[in-house]
Structure 1
Amino acid sequence: MKLSLLTRGRLVYRTAVLLKNSYSVSAVRDSAALLHRNHGEPSQVLQLEDLVLPQMGPESVLVKMLAAPINPSDLNMIQGTYAILPELPAVGGNEGVARVMEVGDEVKALKVGDWVIPRDAGIGTWRTAAVLKADDLVTLPKDIPVLSAATLGVNPCTAFRMLSDFEELKPGDTVIQNAANSGVGQAVIQIAAAKGIQSINVVRDRPDLQQLSERLTALGATHVITEETLRRPEMKELFKSCPRPKLALNGVGGKSATELLRHLQSGSSMVTYGGMAKQPVTVPVSALIFKDVKIRGFWVTQWKRDNKHGECLQSYIHDISKALLQNE
């Protein structure tokens, strides 16, 4: 199985290519950036501007951005609806990979040529170059694919932590998730398959359902079903081939989340990391009383802040990078 851990979206590739090709080493003290001075729809408030980079400090580094993706949280931040908002004017983008071009006199952990990604959200990655605090960056191997490196910090990290931190999953166990074709969902499929964990992957019905199902199966999905199938009696047949899930991962909310709960084992967990339906999560009383399910939430930004200087973040990067290299 090839572990790609890359959000497959046209916008992701376009942004990555733009940042990679528009940088000139001779213009190292300038940067082109997608900037917004007000909150609103990205198409209305984002502007491409040339910025003069600040002077290097003893604890700062000059980096060249290699690639940066577009995530829903990036757009929410520009719209002003995200949980954290940088001071305006702000450069868009919460993750991406950069190469260190110059280091301050007191910087010990980084060196010229290192590849780095942000430790936290709000750093502003939709630019060609930046002067940043060395402490706000973490290194990663330079021999993994650049587009995978650029997307390592949000979706795969969310998937990895949710599969690791809420239930003790063993080979042969099952996880169920909605939004299975999202960036997080595709990462969940691949990481679960690498660990020998079966996955039930719920997607919305669509004209190209067969092609989507084949693509997710190629990533390692055990089962791919629609939201409608999730509500039908034939789910009983599915559970003849795999145990009921110990873990549900909810990126949608609303009725979809409630249906995930119906299929969990007793004593298991549902973790909510997104709400694409913009509807509340409703938990039946019977699920709490008779199945003792645990309802949890996960926000990767908070996890990174809680583990900013610990070994967990670096350990995650090591493990995922190793998996990428083994399957390249």
Structure 2
Amino acid sequence: MTQSRRQQVSLQDTRYYHLISRCVRRAYLCGEDAYSKQSFEHRRQWMVDKIRFLTNIFAIDVAAYAVMSNHYHLVVYVDEEAALGWSNKDVCQRWLALYNNHPLVERWQQGTNSGEAETEAALAIIAKWRQRLSDLSWLMRNLNEYIARKANQEDNCKGRFWEGRFKSQALLDEKAVLACMAYVDLNPVRAKMVNSVQQSQFTSVYERIHDKASEVDKKQQLPFSHKPLLGFIGNEHKHAVKGIAFSLSDYLTLVQETGKVIRADKAGHLDAQALPILNQLGLSNSQWLELAQRFGKQYHQAVGTIDELSAFAMHTNKKWISGHRQQATIFR
């Protein structure tokens, strides 16, 4: 029986999640259809712009993304504290960038509520909006519905565009987060669409290398500040509120060198001495390459140490997390 999304997310265990949505049947998100010879490449920009637009509104940061021909990946950080720090006015401003106003909230904003009961009802609605603005399901609902409608309109068809619900994978520690980010950023290289990450457009690593923000940052005027990709904070992580606890330059070097090995179509080797980040992670050359190539296929539901997986299972009402034995040798 399918579990509710609430039973697959535990913010007390981790704020980092890997999200995947795939097109149904032979529907094309992007790329070129070999049968019809029709190109859907322009939809990649739709995806990136909408991802960045929504994460500007939601209390959710993007750490990594990759837009592929029939699916996409997101690695996100749920910043629940940010949502709790917003004023009621801020919450309304953000929610109304996506949806129509509620009559009770509209009267509360105008100061024309008839009494205390109406005011309490309006504040309860705003509290619900606040919770939804840090909810992964609501983020993905907005993203997938927008793309499905736009693609179906362009294809002049109706019906389902996405293959059921999105998949989520909890990333329970820093090693899992970084490995998953690299796996996502290396998707175009691994699929042999490009030769290197420097050419991997519509991925977060391409954006970080070329310092290229999405088009929405240039076109869309929002009543609140634009958010960049979640930052790398290196040795400052003990003092920072949030961020990826590694050096950006070390990460880019690691991903670029890994991409060369993967694209060479033969057994490769990484120089551990030139990649200090591998020592920080406590991973061997072979373990890292295994993660970078098979992270999404080999691990499911959650990734971390046995203790972390046990805690996550308990908090999400599961008996165990599938694949925990395969993780034990690398995540210890």
TM above 0.5, yes or no, is no
More helix per residue: 2
Between the two structures, name the one with larger relative contact order (CA 8 Å, sep ≥ 6). Answer: 2
Q: Tell me the TM-score range normalised by the shorter chain.
A: under 0.3
| Higher percent of residues as strand | 1
Per the normalisation by structure 1, the TM-score is 0.27
